[in-house]
Amino acid sequence: MSGRPLDVLESSLDDPVTVHLKDGTTYYGLLAGYDQHMNLVIDPETAEADRVPDEEDFAVAVEDTTIIRGDNVVTINA
């Protein structure tokens, strides 16, 4: 695997991710898709929808399929 951002996103498809936005909001869910602008499609974690990752106690679990514009993303943790 290379370290290029889109390659990292490709290898993280269908895996849980935590997304930090410029406004300080943090979301987590399953990475369902992305595009060349790093717009993200996040689905809820169905098996663990009520679990907040230990290191991200302030994260908001997505409740429905959510599209996040790439311009608003600061970091993505897989």
Nearest to 60 by CA among 46, 75, 49, 47: 49
Q: Report phi then psi at 56, rounded to 5.
A: -125, 55
Q: How far apart are CA 73 and CA 23, in angstroms?
A: 9
List the helix and strand counts (H, then E) for the chain.
Answer: 1, 6
- pTM value > 0.75: yes
Residue 33 sits in a domain whose CATH number is 2.30.30.100
Residue 16: give the domain boundaries.
Answer: 5-77
70 contacts: CB under 8 Å, gap ≥ 6 = 35, 37, 38, 39, 40
- Number of domain units in the chain: 1
Q: What is the tens place of the pLDDT at every residue in 12-57?
A: 999 999 999 999 999 999 999 999 999 999 999 865 544 555 555 5
Tell me how far the alpha carbon of residue 54 is from its chain's centroid: 16
